[in-house]
Structure 1
Amino acid sequence: YRGSAIGTIIGTIAGAAIGNAVSAPKQETYGYRIERTEPYKPQHETYPAPSVFDNLRIRNIRFIDDSRDHVISSGEKSKVIFEIMNEGEQTIYNVVPMVTETTGMKRIYISPPVMVEQIAPHNGVKYTATISAGERIKTRNVTIRVAVADGNGQQYDWQEFSLPTER
């Protein structure tokens, strides 16, 4: 009985809403058109405003693999270690160190970035990312990009280096 009553109530409400929409008088809609009456004057080139992130520098990049041969071998784990220095006069907040592989090599896995809460003026942090190679990587070269970005992913300083890979 309760299910039937609930169904009747819901049906009544839905029917009333549909009937009201159908019988309501139509409102006229007015269209408008915008036309340019004078020629467009080109804007001068604009440059992004300087950011405190421009004061971040990457230095002392080191690559260490398990076999210490500077080759990323199949199944091997390695690390990229680098420092991010704040050369400015203000504390910089929400710094994201990034390590990415830019050549599109499959089966190279890099640990996700971890946000650094703040870096005081004339100070720095040491960051370590882990790189793992799958069992079936191809033998060729891979390019690793080390970068520093803000919380929105905008990169400010970066460096790249290449390493051989081996199956």
Structure 2
Amino acid sequence: MILLSALILGGCASGRMGNPGAIIAGASIGGSLGGSIGGLIGDNNNGWRGGYRGSAIGNIVGTIAGAAIGNALTTPREERIEDGAYIPEVREVYREPRSNKARSQVQYASQLKLRKIRFIDDNRNHIIDGGESSKIIFEIMNEGRDAVYNVVPLVETVGKVKHIGISPSVMVEEILPGEGIRYTATIYAGEKLKDGEVTFRVAVANENGRICDSQEFTLPMQRRD
């Protein structure tokens, strides 16, 4: 039990513990099976005393192994970022409301938050090339206590940029508290794209149309050879 407690507490400290029920169940099954096998081996070698010792040792080993298996099977896996994804340097954006009434209504630091913004282009050079298709991927998390409805992810360029197209936004019907969704916007670069830079704004609006979180990042553009 001391070793089992150490395993559970170790998982809590690392933040990667499996289902406690599965760990305890695995420990129980492993202990029983290990005790039985250890008892049979010890009994065959040294009589009942050997069987008793073998059962005790087998119970300990089986408990540890069963707990470890239960923990491994139920521990959440870390999400792997897509191969070749580029994590841009983002900056938070705040736009001051024009009127006092609008200022009182805006809840900028709300429960909807943007996370893990990344960019993936076809040739993985982290540049928007003419004629290339690429993606902006990000997560929207609901950090509040209530469900949020009719969430709108937004991806746009800052200012007018020629020959850059962005897939239209898709409304998310519901995000439960403590949960989130992953959103992907497709970026189309025209054949006539010129050298330069483009700044993208990634934002999320709630059902009232209020911007809850907004971040920007800049990427280089180059014309097609």
- Bigger strand fraction: 1
Question: CA 1:85–1:73 in structure 2 vs 1: closer, same or farther (change >3 Å)?
Answer: same
> How many residues align structurally?
123
From 143, 152, 167, give the equivalent of 2:199: 143
1:165 aligns with 2:221: yes
Alignment-mate amino acid for residue 159 of structure 1: Q
Aligned residue in 2 for 1:73: 129
Alignment of 1:64-143 (within 5 A): 64-143=120-199
- Give the TM-score normalised by the residue count of structure 2: 0.52
Structure 1: gaps (5+ residues): 1-44
Higher relative contact order (CA 8 A, sep 6+): 1
Structure 2: gaps (5+ residues): 1-99
On the 8 A contact 2:153/2:205 being kept in 1, the answer is yes
On the 8 A contact 2:198/2:220 being kept in 1, the answer is yes
- Give the TM-score normalised by the residue count of structure 1: 0.69
Counterpart secondary structure, 2:136:
strand
Question: CA 1:137–1:152 in structure 2 vs 1: closer, same or farther (change >3 Å)?
Answer: farther
CA–CA distance in structure 2, aligned partners of residues 145 and 52 of structure 1: 16
Counterpart secondary structure, 2:178:
coil
Moved over 6 A (4+): none
> In the TM superposition, what whole-angstrom CA distance separates every residue of 1:37-72 from its partner, at most 9, and x where no partner exists?
xxxxxxxx6542465981100000010000100100
> In the TM superposition, what whole-angstrom CA distance separates every residue of 1:61-98 from its partner, at most 9, and x where no partner exists?
01000010010000000000000000000000000001
From 88, 94, 113, give the equivalent of 1:57: 113
Say what the alpha-carbon RMSD is for the aligned residues: 1.9
On the 8 A contact 1:57/1:85 being kept in 2, the answer is yes
Give the % identical residues: 54
Question: CA 1:127–1:116 in structure 2 vs 1: closer, same or farther (change >3 Å)?
Answer: same
- Bigger helix fraction: 2
